[in-house]
Structure 1
Amino acid sequence: MKKKINIYLPLLIALAIIGGIYLGNHLNSQAPRLGLPSLTAPKSNKLSMIIDLISNAYVDSVATGELVEEAIPTILKKLDPHSTYIPARDMQEVNEEMQGNFGGIGVQFTIYNDTVQVVDVISGGPSQKLGIQPGDRIVAVNDSLIAGNGVKNETVMNLLRGEKGTRVNVDIKRKGINDLIAYEITRGDIPIISVDVDYMINDSTGYVKVSRFAEKTYTEFMKAMTNVDALGAQQVIIDLRGNPGGYLMAVVKMVNEFLDEGDLIVYTEGHSQARKTYTATGKASWADKRIFVLIDEYSASASEIFTGALQDNDKGIIVGRRSFGKGLVQEQIPFTDGSALRLTVARYYTPSGRCIQKPYDEGTEEYYHDLMNRAVHGELEEADSIQFSDTLRYETKGGRIVYGGGGIMPDYFVPLDTTGYSDYYSKITQKALVYHFAFDYTDSHRAELEQLKTPQEIVNHLKGENVMDQFISYAATKGVKRSESGLSVSGKIIETQLMAYIARNAIGDEGFYPIIQQIDKTLRKAIELSGENQTLSQLLAVTK
């Protein structure tokens, strides 16, 4: 019996295999009749196959397009924190941000007490040409009431923005006039400004604030540098705090204005991307200036390229706190439906070889909690709390030691200033009372403020009007009672902020920044360094 089994077992196995092949082929041959795709689809098409199966065989009707839209971000989350999907509905806003302009009516507004209030009117824009003024209330847009109904910023922007040359009807309520004023506004190109302000801090020191890197940033930056140069600036403080980055070529062209010919600016490299190097051409329009760069934990991407290039080439003094650590290169791939994929394809490296990107191997959620973790670990207050690995040790062109591992560490660390914080100040801040009072005060005193042309004139005027006492009374009506102990600790901060915001409402950022610098510890440190009678090399030698 055992012998027979040994003889027939191979035959039985063979028959089973043949039967299995036949059955499989038979089932596959039936698949098209059931509306199913072939079950032998290659592995690389598994996602497409699942969508086809749901579309053709699922028990209920399903909008598979919506499934795809929801699935793509989930897939990208498994890659890195900056690979992202941009739906078609968001592409216009994304492109506007990078191109540096959008179609609109040319006003800056705020929503206060459910009312859309014009804060400023862009010079030369459609609204200014028609006579719309700061302080005007926008009541309706194209017959849609937008006052008193919990209107949101996004709603107002969607109503006011639009293609250049299109028209929009706006009803305005103005103080002193009983009836609404109706305007028909033809939308125009409204610039998104990258360089907020440039001015002279003193006779020899210029200040330039760059808030983003867009297509037109280089042109704006060169104009700002030319302005302070003409006023005698021997050194310039370039403020990149809070700058999230943006357009690579903008920052490359800007850095090129400070470096010697052949100096490395930045290079990129990835698994499927060959190394690409950007070097200085020798244009160096501002090579004769001492440069101080301000950064903080919100300075990212292109801001870090700018900072790293100057630091590694020993061409600038970096002041502030460690930058964000975003050093991944995204390539934008458009789809036919108007959406796009921004896929990370490489990493940025500074001239010394440092990778700007901080680790993200613990997941996206932990990655974005990094700034909170820095605060908990004391990094925002003490430079010594930051631990660096010797395996990530690099040298600048002049031999100074710098470290990689994520972000740019400044040459001169300035801790987060909390010395003026009190419970009184905290309550005022939580309710945004300084901002609201400043708007109300400006709105009520616009005629007299318009006669004042400089920040110092505004400060002198406001002190004469005892604006601080007015604010303390105003805060009390909003539930924050006067606190002598709180005022002794925070009074200077509150008063300076009040004057700075009123000045901004009256004459723009040219009024805000020169006033707020009085309580800006990081800027004050840069001003102190710039005032020392030392060369850039001598100042850098301290950090060697």
Structure 2
Amino acid sequence: MNKRISIYLPILIAVSVIIGIFLGNHLGKTPQTGFQNFAASKPNKLSTIVDLIANAYVDSVSTEKLVEEAIPTLLENLDPHTTYIPARDMQGVTEEMQGNFGGIGVQFSVHNDTVQVIDVVSGGPSNKLGILPGDRIVMVNDSLIAGVGVKNETVLSLLRGQKGTKVNVGIKRKGISDLISYEITRGDIPIISVDVSYLIDEKTGFVKVSRFAEKTYREFMDALEKLDRAGAQKIIVDLRGNPGGYLMAVVQMVNEFLDEGELIVYTEGHAQARKTYTATSKGKWLGKNVFVLLDEYSASASEIFAGAIQDNDRGVIIGRRSFGKGLVQEQIPFNDGSALRLTVARYYTPSGRSIQKPYEDGTDQYYHDIMNRAVHGEFQVADSIQFADSLKFETKSGRVVYGGGGIMPDYFVPVDTTGFSGYYSKIMQKALVYHFAFEYSDKYRNELKKLKTAGEFITYLSGQHILNRFEDFAEAKGVPKDPAGLKLSGEIIENQLMAYIARNLIGEEGFFPIIQRIDKTLLKAIEISQSQDSIGKILAVTK
């Protein structure tokens, strides 16, 4: 008997273990929860996973947080411009595109841990209460913001707010020992799209457009009308560094330079039929010469503007190849205030060129493209850019232009490295030109506020030996004097100093006409504009 038990016992134990494993596997699954059937019945894996985590996961977790973090990862597999905008960021995005925000109406700068008012928006809340350029903002509500390492973002978050809300501000003003307290009711503060417009000479107007928002067209037309009244017969439109924005803003602007029926741009996508935008009437500036400045940071709507002008042989493009952003996004809102910007189509210029550069190698490589262009010499020599014959297109008059990403200028202007030196590099790394201009403007504000134009600033500051003063300032900040470096870079530094000082007193109408003196791209545009009587003759040279 004992012998039989000793023989069969191992077999019985083995059978018991197998039965136990079998029962454990089956009793631990479907009979307890039923989630296998639940998952099998759902066609959408993503929503099913979220539901399973919410209802079956071992610990309590926020599925909302998981979804927020997962969406950007999901979108990474698409193009670089399809993005998710969390609800917390929507206000800033909306303000940027609508062209205004709620605030107190000051332009400020944080310098040496002090928030100083640079300019006051005319007619804005601060202007009406008597806040002045040069005032220091020391307190905002109950928060001390002086001498505590405050950042721009912090100041913005304290000063901005909904229109009609109030904010208490404590101001320190030179000559007054006590703080001046203001209760400011926030108002709508415009975000300006057209930075400046002025006459370069008696026939040539200049307009700098920094973005395309809801109010850009009206600002642009105001600038053109001002220049027209001043006698401008030709216009230089500076779109360098302009990242784009609203499609309808650029369509309306280009409309002013074309004849009725001329094509501006068209869009087309996998799920979207071709949509065409044409000039609706004879443009007010149809008979005047147009010159457009581009660089590698001009994107989207800037490229639509330049492409329409170029393909219709309506004007001349000057500078360097633009960024290459030609994808159309549609903003889709969600109930929680967030939104998805989904790419739904591509932009095409009138000749049929796709503006969009390739993005198949991933987002990182896409945004490193500008660095790659620099490495390959594109910023120095136009001939370093190679195009396939399949990317060759023709303008209205038969001039050859190329697609494949960005707009190639009719006249290439390399990045200007003349005047660069080790000394200049050191002072730029420490932002000493800006800091000197800030302190000089503050110290001599009473004398400088008598000057009203860029020309007056140039005349006055040319006699103040500011370059020598700057040398001493830079040395005190840790950059030793370098006569050879100053000889090479002195013209650039001196003009930058004068331009920033003028900006601190009279704004962009002081800055741009001075910086123009060392702006090689703008100087090239002026030279080209003066070389022939008409755009037709200028374009004939580029054939």
TM-score, normalising length: structure 2 = 0.94
The 8 Å contact of residues 85 and 342 in structure 1, kept in 2 or not, is answered as: yes
2:19 corresponds in structure 1 to none
1:52 corresponds in structure 2 to 51
Q: 1:128 to 1:37 in 2, by over 3 A?
A: farther
Could you tell me which amino acid in structure 1 is paired with residue 525 of structure 2?
Answer: A
Measure, in 1, the Cα distance between the counterparts of 2:161 and 2:236.
Answer: 37
1:310-350 deviations in Å (ceiling 9; x for gaps): 00000010000000000000000000000000000000000
* Alignment RMSD (CA, Å): 1.5
Measure, in 2, the Cα distance between the counterparts of 1:145 and 1:172.
Answer: 11
User: Per the alignment, in what secondary structure is the counterpart of residue 357 of structure 1?
Assistant: coil
User: Per the alignment, in what secondary structure is the counterpart of residue 224 of structure 2?
Assistant: helix
Q: 1:131 to 1:36 in 2, by over 3 A?
A: farther
Measure, in 1, the Cα distance between the counterparts of 2:262 and 2:125.
Answer: 44
Matched, 1:204 2:200: no
1:8 corresponds in structure 2 to none
The 8 Å contact of residues 42 and 48 in structure 2, kept in 1 or not, is answered as: no
User: Per the alignment, in what secondary structure is the counterpart of residue 39 of structure 1?
Assistant: helix
Could you tell me which amino acid in structure 2 is paired with residue 184 of structure 1?
Answer: E
The 8 Å contact of residues 37 and 53 in structure 1, kept in 2 or not, is answered as: no
Matched, 1:374 2:373: yes
**Percent of aligned positions that are identical:** 71
Measure, in 2, the Cα distance between the counterparts of 1:430 and 1:479.
Answer: 12
User: Per the alignment, in what secondary structure is the counterpart of residue 275 of structure 1?
Assistant: strand
1:452 corresponds in structure 2 to 451
- Within 5 Å, give how 1:15-414 maps onto structure 2: 30=31, 33=33, 38-43=38-43, 45-414=44-413
The 8 Å contact of residues 88 and 337 in structure 1, kept in 2 or not, is answered as: yes
Deviation at residue 30 of structure 1 after TM alignment? 3.9
1:277-311 deviations in Å (ceiling 9; x for gaps): 00011230100110000000000000000000000
1:113-152 deviations in Å (ceiling 9; x for gaps): 1111111111111001111111111111111111222211
1:437-486 deviations in Å (ceiling 9; x for gaps): 10100011111111111111111111211111111110110011111110
Deviation at residue 39 of structure 1 after TM alignment? 2.3
Deviation at residue 34 of structure 1 after TM alignment? 5.8
Measure, in 2, the Cα distance between the counterparts of 1:27 and 1:482.
Answer: 79
The 8 Å contact of residues 196 and 508 in structure 2, kept in 1 or not, is answered as: yes
User: Per the alignment, in what secondary structure is the counterpart of residue 47 of structure 1?
Assistant: helix
Deviation at residue 35 of structure 1 after TM alignment? 6.9
Deviation at residue 253 of structure 1 after TM alignment? 0.3
Q: 1:289 to 1:37 in 2, by over 3 A?
A: farther
The 8 Å contact of residues 88 and 340 in structure 1, kept in 2 or not, is answered as: yes
The 8 Å contact of residues 35 and 56 in structure 1, kept in 2 or not, is answered as: no
The 8 Å contact of residues 359 and 367 in structure 1, kept in 2 or not, is answered as: yes
2:16 corresponds in structure 1 to none
The 8 Å contact of residues 72 and 85 in structure 1, kept in 2 or not, is answered as: yes
User: Per the alignment, in what secondary structure is the counterpart of residue 542 of structure 1?
Assistant: helix
1:356-383 deviations in Å (ceiling 9; x for gaps): 0000000000000000000000000100
Matched, 1:529 2:535: no
Could you tell me which amino acid in structure 1 is paired with residue 78 of structure 2?
Answer: L
- Within 5 Å, give how 1:500-519 maps onto structure 2: 500-519=499-518
Measure, in 2, the Cα distance between the counterparts of 1:296 and 1:186.
Answer: 40
Measure, in 2, the Cα distance between the counterparts of 1:534 and 1:197.
Answer: 26
1:196-219 deviations in Å (ceiling 9; x for gaps): 000000011000000000000000
2:13 corresponds in structure 1 to none
Measure, in 2, the Cα distance between the counterparts of 1:246 and 1:93.
Answer: 14
TM-score, normalising length: structure 1 = 0.94
Q: 1:401 to 1:171 in 2, by over 3 A?
A: same
Q: 1:41 to 1:156 in 2, by over 3 A?
A: farther
Measure, in 2, the Cα distance between the counterparts of 1:124 and 1:312.
Answer: 42
User: Per the alignment, in what secondary structure is the counterpart of residue 59 of structure 1?
Assistant: coil
The 8 Å contact of residues 28 and 38 in structure 1, kept in 2 or not, is answered as: no
Give the unaligned 5+ runs of structure 2.
1-24
1:397-440 deviations in Å (ceiling 9; x for gaps): 11000000000000000000001100000000000000011010
Measure, in 2, the Cα distance between the counterparts of 1:390 and 1:148.
Answer: 61
The runs of at least 4 consecutive aligned structure 1 residues that moved more than 6 Å come to 24-29
Deviation at residue 25 of structure 1 after TM alignment? 12
1:464 corresponds in structure 2 to 463
Measure, in 2, the Cα distance between the counterparts of 1:41 and 1:317.
Answer: 61
Aligned residues: 519
Measure, in 2, the Cα distance between the counterparts of 1:220 and 1:239.
Answer: 14
